[in-house]
Every structure is written in C-alpha cells, then in structure tokens.
Amino acid sequence: MAEAVELEAGGRTVRLSSPGKVFFPEHGYTKLDVARYYQAVAPGILRALRERPTTLERYPDGVTGEWFYQKRAPKGMPDWIPTAHITFPSGRSADEMCPTEEAAVLWAAQYGTLTFHPWPVRRDDVDHPDELRIDLDPQPGTDYDDAVRAAHELRAVLEEFGGLRGWPKTSGGRGIHVFVPIEPRWTFTQVRRAAIAVGRELERRMPEQVTTKWWKEERGERIFVDYNQTARDRTIASAYSVRPRPHAPVSAPLRWEEVGVAHPRDFDITTMPARFAELGDVHAGMGEGAYSLDALLELATKDEHDHGLGDLPYPPEYPKMPGEPSRVQPSRARKPAPGPK
C-alpha cells in the first residue's frame, strides 16, 4: 500500500491512509479514487448533507468485502464535526454525525464510507422533516424507463396538489428519487401520510404501471412508491453518494428535462466530476423555497373519508402504529373459519 496522502477540502486537510486499497475491483478504482471523487463534488454533497443527521454505509475493504451501517457517531470523530441526538422507532437513541463542512465527507471516506444516508431533518429540529422524499422503486419486470414515466406523472401530481416542485435524481440503480423541500411543520407520521396520498394519486392515474402495495407478492410488474422511506429512521442515499455496485455509480441530481434522456449508467465516479465542473450542483436551488403539505394532507383526508383508504403497513421493525392495518403477508394471513352449512 502507498503511504498516506493528504487531501484539502474547505480549508481543512484530511489524511487518507492506504490510498491504493482497491474498492471497486472490476475497474480497479481505489480508496483514493473515491476520496478524490468526493473532493470534486464536495459543494454538492455538502448541500445534500448539511446539518443533517447522517448514517454512513461503510465498506472498509471495498465493495467485495463486509459492510455495515454506522448510525452512531464513530469514536475519534473530529470535534469540528457536530452531532445531533436522534431517537429510533425502538425508543433507543444515538448521537449521529451532522456534516457542516466539506472535509467531513472526506473524513468519512477515509473510513470506507461509500454512501451517505441523511435524515430528512436538520439537527436543530430532528422531529420535523424539511423534505418530502418520494422513492420510485422498479419491481422485477420493470426498469428505469418505467420509473421515468412514473416520475413525469409524479411531477404533475406534485404541481396539482399545492404547486410543489420536486427535484429528481437517479438512485444509482434502476430507480428515481424525487425530493420536495417542505416547511418543517409536520411530524414524520404526517409527512408519511402525505407520501401515501401522493402514491395513491399516482396509482389512480397509472394503475397498470404504479403501486403502493407493501407486500411484494401484490406489487406485480409495477413501480412501487415506497412511502415507508418517509418513516422515522428510514433514509435515502444522498445526491452524489457513491453506490456499492461494481461500476461505482453515483446518485445523480437531474434537471427535469434530463429525466428520460440521461441514464443511470451515465453517472459514476469518473464521469460526475466533469459534469459537476461544467454545470455545478443542478440542485443548488433546493434551499430557496419550502412548500406546504396542506393540499396533500387534504387529499389524504379525502381518500380516507370518500374511499375508505386508511393507513398502510409500517416496516416490520416498527412498533404497531394507531390505525395501521394487519402487518401479515396476505398469502399467510389466517383464513376465516368456514361457517355452518
């Protein structure tokens, strides 16, 4: 292994040990390649992470080695990286790192972090999200092009219900994420309810292409609107995050006119720096306005009153929530006993 190197970011110097360690064997990309990628897009990823409690997805030995999620702030973290105290659905809590400087990203890369998973909150108010995040997740039999069609209809839904503006990005895989900056006035439960309303409206408009069904056996070959990504402690990979796939793709912010023109394979740790140098952060304007969820919550109320559409299941690790339907897979649900003949 080569000796350690020092990298500059935002006026700080970060030491990178074992820079020649191979993280992506298919192309030979090293730990230094990953760190230099983050150095190149530092203003963009800091915009996505700034002041947010952030879980680190770490691959100390590269994508072919063991990996884990680091939720608690690592021991020995520099004192210039602040933390936020967050509570998990289990009732447990932890102090999680909150990047406020570009160098914090390089510091995390030094410890094998590939993907950053920021909460949709800021550290000064960890109970009220300031982003509504819509995850369009292709199911078996569907692909990115199907997610593109859903994304364009989603854009129309957001505009119709509250004049909301969404900011699209590739997931780094086959999916599309759309983030909407919102006023931090609602709880996680309320924001999740708004996400369900969005998903159901999209489902009504594209019933053969989109679903909100939680159970995989019911989804079919459709795009799943993963409403539970808005539940507390559920996070989505940040813009510019490296994804742990053989070709080192990244989650790429897009302009709407690029959705359906650009492809996820266009964006990796070797191509994104040139795009960033030319265009800058195409989502830089996200912080310029925050929207209300009132229209979506009114839609949720209408769904409940007019169509009898209540809550949907939470993930299995969550405590049972008020009004939540059965969390039993339909094919395994107990069948009612036959009545007398």
Residue 280 vs residues 43, 253, 273, 274: alpha-carbon distances, Å: 9, 11, 9, 9
One-letter amino acid at 116 equals F
As a whole number of angstroms, the distance between CA 286 and CA 90 comes to 32
| Full pLDDT tens readout for the chain, 341 residues | 568 999 999 899 999 999 999 999 999 999 999 999 999 999 999 999 999 999 999 999 999 999 999 999 988 899 999 999 999 998 999 999 999 999 999 999 999 999 999 999 999 999 999 999 999 999 999 999 999 999 999 999 999 999 999 999 999 999 999 999 999 999 999 999 999 999 999 999 999 999 999 999 999 999 999 999 999 999 999 999 999 999 999 999 999 999 999 999 999 999 999 999 999 999 999 989 899 999 999 999 999 999 999 999 999 889 988 888 988 888 887 665 565 55
Give the β-pairing of 223-225 and 210-211. Answer: parallel
Give the β-pairing of 210-211 and 29-30. Answer: unpaired
Burial of 211 per CB tally in 10 Å (0-12, 13-18, 19+): buried
What pTM does this model have?
A: 0.95
As a whole number of angstroms, the distance between CA 271 and CA 45 comes to 16
